[in-house]
Structure 1
Amino acid sequence: MKAEMKHKFVLCMGALLLAGTLAAQTPVPEWQAGVDKVKSLIKTSPEQALDEADALLKGKNKKNVDLVTSVARAYLDAGKLPEAENYLELAKKADNKAPAVSVLEGDIALARKDVGKACQLYEQSIYFDPNYREGYLKYAQAYKSASPTQAIEKLQQLKAIAPDCVEADKELAEVYYANNRFGKAAETYAKFIDTPVATEDDRLKYAFALFLNHDFEKSLQVAQEGLAANARHAAFNRLAMYNTTDLKRYEEAERYADAFFHASDNADYSYLDYRYHGALLSALKKYDQAVAEYAKALEKDNTQIELWREISDAYEQNNDYPQSIAAYRKYYDALKQSEKTPETLFQLGRLYYGEGTSQDTLAVRPADRMAALQSADSVFALVSEQAPDSYLGDLWRARTNSAIDPETTEGLAKPYYEKVAGILLAKNDSKYNAALIECYSYLGYYYLLKSDYPVSKEFWNKILAIDPTNATAKKALDGIK
């Protein structure tokens, strides 16, 4: 027998043995069949159900708290609150200090939307028996939305007296997950995920909690375990696609995407599904398909304006600058005024600059290059106005004007490089050395073309003072000599 198969065999045998042990420890009471009969009759034959219940609770059975509460719960589960309350009164007469009676009364109060009263009764059950797990669990379930802190506190109390209570872990995980504490949720799901109390929904939430906590590898592993049981499970295929995309395992992600969109049952697609698929296709350099997926995402939720920026990125990667600029303008125009920062405006200028300097003659016509560069210059001028303490607007104006005047015959970039050099010198920070060398290189070349050799030499020597190995500066100085 192979090791893996042997391991599974041992687990299965262990589960069977455990089930047998539990069955031996908790025998089915002899009256259970009667309660089951009442349950089956409540909706189909209410009067007969009452007759059966009355017959079941004759004589000494009236004092059997477990039996009476079971009958009451059958009516409660069926939504028959008046009848449930009648049998609750019988249970109280049998033993009004039994914790199961307090929990039953709490459940009825909860069914009547009285959460406060329900929790008082759950507390009462714990007062009657501090080890009564059901009271802690019911209290936490009632308060997990209204007061997560109280729910967590009660479950931690239960864990203190019963460290092995996996039901408490299950409830704790639910509370953490519902309140976006995904790190704690993932940690708590891990404690019971391989026990019989864990459901497929628990495994799914565990995988999502891991994903939202950026533990993509572990989330993928849990999703794959879910898919091993059901390869057409939409949510697990979704998570597998998300995780492999974030892990940059794009070919694998494409397989999961295909399964999610074409081989999953009952899939309900969200804008985020199409957005992830668009990002995946863009990473695979399938830009046209990526744009189509982003468009589907916008159809699902047109308030997600970031999608326009991602569409712009896809077009840019495909060297389609006109479409990229058009998409980015939609993104920028849709921003709130407070979000229209110099940084967001700068990106528009960078796209115009990209169009104006593109070497792809098929993607950008030569006649459009000058117009694009002029637009870039206008945008960078606005950036400079909006962020006067930053050098980037002027640096990119310098680069743009250098592209407009590639032979440096007019020196269009000169005033901007001079301004940038002054700003960077004042900063006195070596991290700006590369930009400073760019300024000095242009100015050294400009004065060289003007045959003003002394000034030209000054700039080349300034470069060598920053970078003694700079080959361009050395070559220029050698030429001047």
Structure 2
Amino acid sequence: MKKNYVLIALFLIALIPAAWSQVDKGLELLLLEDFDEAKKVFEQTATSQPDIAYYYLGEIALQKENTEEAMAHYQKGISADEDAIFCQIGATKLSLKSNPDEFKKSMKGFAKKNRKKAPVLLAVAQAYRYNDMHKDASGALSSARSADKTYPYIYLFEGYWMEKQGNTGGAATQYEQAINFDPNCAVAYVKNSLAYSSVLPSAATNTLKAGLEANPGNELISKYLARNYYRTGFYELAINEYSTLLQKGPLSPVDERNYAASLYFSDKFEEALKALSDILAKEPDHPVMNRLMMYTQNELGNYEEAIAAGEHFFELRSDDEEFTPLLTDFTKLAEAYMAVEAFDQAIEMYRGAVKVNPEETAIYKEVATTLARANRTIEAIEFYQGYIDATQSTESADYMQLGIYNYQVAGQLARKVNAAKKAIEAEETVEVNLGLLNDSLAQFAGNAVEAFGKVIELAPESYQGYYRRANANTLLDLDLSKGLANSDYQKMIEILVADSEDNNQDRLVEAYRYFAIYYLYQYDASNSNDDKNQSIEYAKKVLELNPEDATATQIVEGLQQ
């Protein structure tokens, strides 16, 4: 019988380190505000360590401002262990909150009976903090340090409280104290790194590296080092840390997502695809992961799959910031639509892109160029005009490009008008409305004239604006009866003749040929010798620059017979 008692005693002694190890894990999670996981740990510890477990279950409930639940946990601890000092402190700070004198008297009693027990004195300090007696809390913390200055949680909970007050520097100092007194306290390195993360990321990284040197292979520190690398954009280093952690077991959902994103941002698209597929199999409606899936499939050229992920992502939209689509969400899905020639859907996505971030004006130009390459020039005009309106552009090159797009559409319409007229003359069936075609032609050609006029206004010394506007005006004067392009061609000739360089000889030939034809038409209508001579003169100017020009040769030979 005596032997059995010895075995039982040895078994209970063996349980104590394991139980306290779980308590430490719970405290780590609590300090890192992972309250749900901390709660699970303390619930598992409640049988072997009811006082400390129920006390911290109560503290977690207070973090969620649930005093009734907190009191219930404290009472459970007291019921399970009549000497439950922690739970007695917890219950007292709630029951005597409205009676500060009695509360203070009770806390002094707890402190006096446990003056050599740092954890109990820390609980007293926390009770004072809860009831806004900060001077008394400081006194209790001083007593805790006197009892055992190496107990790291004194500094950890004081740092945690300072963080809540916005005193990040003071909190960091407390965490450093915890490290100094207990280099094996992993959560102290983590809390210290988090305090530095927003103001000095390199210091946060170095703290975690130092923590791993002091605690080789520690999973908590490794996890936060991986997260720190991810947050600061060192994706390859994040991947390395996460790969090490994966050898020890599965990652948490947050870290799975960080790992997948790190793979994507490191251009490891095949690996990212596998990681994302695993995540979405468990969380099919996670918006950020659907976003990354769309991006990844796009990069791999799997456009149908990118569209499926993108469409699902947009179905998940809400008013929450996390779910709000980014400009690139619209453009990536638009790119996938463009790749499968679903142009109408792509255009709608591009329209969404320019609305979601109006300050990102460069997108207008990029979209216009993309649509123009796909022969969706009318929509290209829409986006380029949007760019000019958004930026109030005064760049001649912008109006030049806008004019060119309008001119291209007008040219296409002019060809359709001519084809329709020929069909009508041949008494063939015409399936288009010639009146509407002419109206559209006038609209786009007029827009081109206006845009090129702006080019002339902004760069009057350049021949380009005159040349382009002359071309646009010829579309409004197909039989040259109005001479709408005359003044611009004359100005262009003036500028080019004054230019000593030969770079623009072709443009001069074009202008001279225009006038040779213009005056030929005038001569046909008026039979005037002046028009005849002008036509011959301009035709000869063409031949001086290009003796092989067939049109000029025909005019000279025909009029000089």
TM-score bin (small chain): 0.5 to 0.7
Q: Which of 10, 17, 34 is 2:51 aligned to?
A: 34
Partner residue of 2:412 out of 344, 351, 358:
358
Distance 2:301 2:497 in 1: 42
CA contact (8 A) 1:143 1:150 kept: yes
Deviation of 1:55 after TM superposition, in Å, equals 8.4
Structure 1 contact 444–460 (Cα < 8 Å) conserved: no
CA RMSD of aligned residues (A): 5.2
1:382 aligns with 2:481: no
CA 1:323–1:98: 2 relative to 1, 3 Å: closer
Structure 1: which 5+ runs fail to align?
A: 1-22, 462-472
Task: Answer with 95-104 or 255-264: which moved more.
Answer: 255-264
**1:34 partner letter:** D
> Pick from 79, 97, 115: which aligns with 2:150?
97
1:343 to 397, 420, 428: 397
In 1, the alpha carbon distance for the partners of 2:302 and 2:463 equals 38
Shift of 1:355: 2.6
Shift of 1:389: 7.0
Distance 1:255-1:323 versus aligned 2 partners, 3 A rule = closer
Structure 1 CA distance, aligned partners of 2:124 and 2:406?
74
Residue identity in the other structure for 1:456: V
Aligned-residue identity in percent: 23
Name the residue aligned to 2:542: 456
**Gap change, CA 1:199 and 1:439, over 3 Å in 2:** farther
Secondary structure of 1:96's partner? coil
Corresponding residue to 1:230 among 265, 283, 286: 283
Which deviations, in whole Å up to 9, do the C-alpha atoms of 1:120-161 show, x marking residues without a partner? 122223333556543332211112123434324433544566
Q: How does 1:33-52 map to 2 (within 5 A)?
A: 33-41=50-58, 43-45=70-72, 48=75, 52=84
Give the letter aligned to residue 442 of structure 1. E
Distance 1:236 1:304 in 2: 24
Residue 334, structure 1, aligned to residue 374, structure 2: no
1:6 matched to which residue of 2? Answer: none
Aligned equivalents of 2:543, 2:115: Cα separation in 1: 109
Q: How far is the alpha carbon of 1:240 from its aligned partner?
A: 1.4
Q: Can you list the C-alpha shifts for 1:421-467, whole angstroms capped at 9, x where unaligned?
A: 579975x9xxxx7xx47525525745875445653344337xxxxxx
Query: Please, which of 325, 328, 347 is the counterpart of residue 270 of structure 1?
Result: 325
Aligned length: 433
For 1:161 and 1:206, the matched residues in 2 are separated by 25
* In 2, Cα distance between equivalents of 1:63 and 1:150: 36
Q: 2:160 aligns with which of 107, 110, 128?
A: 107
Distance 1:419 1:174 in 2: 67
Match of 2:197 among 114, 136, 144: 144
Cα distance, 1:96 vs. partner?
A: 0.8
Q: Which piece of structure 1 moves more, 155-164 or 93-102?
A: 155-164
Shift of 1:239: 1.6
Q: Map Cα deviations across residues 78-125 of structure 1 (whole Å, 9 max, x no partner).
A: 978879878755642431134443333322332343222211122223
Distance between the aligned counterparts of 1:390 and 1:240, measured in 2? 49
What is the CA-CA distance between 1:237 and the residue it aligns to? Answer: 1.4
- The 1:297–1:443 alpha-carbon spacing in structure 2 relative to 1, beyond 3 Å, is closer
| Contiguous gaps of at least 5 residues in structure 2 | 1-13, 21-44, 60-69, 89-109, 417-431, 518-534
- SS in structure 2 opposite 1:270? coil
User: 1:36-435, aligned counterparts within 5 Å?
Assistant: 36-41=53-58, 43-45=70-72, 48=75, 52-54=84-86, 68=120, 88=141, 91-129=144-182, 132-158=185-211, 164=217, 167-168=220-221, 170-175=223-228, 178=231, 181-182=232-233, 184=234, 186-194=235-243, 195=245, 196=249, 198-208=251-261, 219-245=272-298, 249-262=302-315, 268-270=323-325, 272=327, 273-274=329-330, 276-293=332-349, 325=381, 328-335=384-391, 337=392, 339-359=393-413, 361=416, 365-387=437-459, 392-401=464-473, 403-404=475-476, 412=486, 414-415=489-490, 418=493, 426=501
Contact 1:172 1:188 in 2 (8 A): no
Q: Name the SS of the counterpart of 2:19 in structure 1.
A: coil
Check the 8 A contact 1:169/1:192 in 2, yes or no.
yes
SS at match of 2:193: helix
**CA distance, structure 1, for counterparts of residue 227 and residue 299 of structure 2:** 25
Q: In structure 1, what is the equivalent of residue 29 of structure 2?
A: none
Match of 1:12 in 2: none
Q: Distance in 1 between matches of 2:210 and 2:499?
A: 61
Q: Which structure would you say has the larger Rg?
A: 2
CA distance in 1 between counterparts of 2:221 and 2:360 reads: 38
CA distance in 1, matches of 2:288, 2:499: 52
CA contact (8 A) 2:114 2:121 kept: no
> Could you tell me how far 1:35 is from its partner in structure 2?
1.6
SS state at 1:358 partner: helix
> For the Cα contact (< 8 Å) 2:122–2:141, is it kept in 1?
no
The answer (yes or no) to whether the contact 1:238–1:260 under 8 Å persists in 2 is yes
The residue identity in structure 2 corresponding to 1:37 is Y
C-alpha change, 1:293 and 1:420, in structure 2 (3 Å) is: same
Distance in 2 (CA, whole Å) between partners of 1:116 and 1:99 is 18
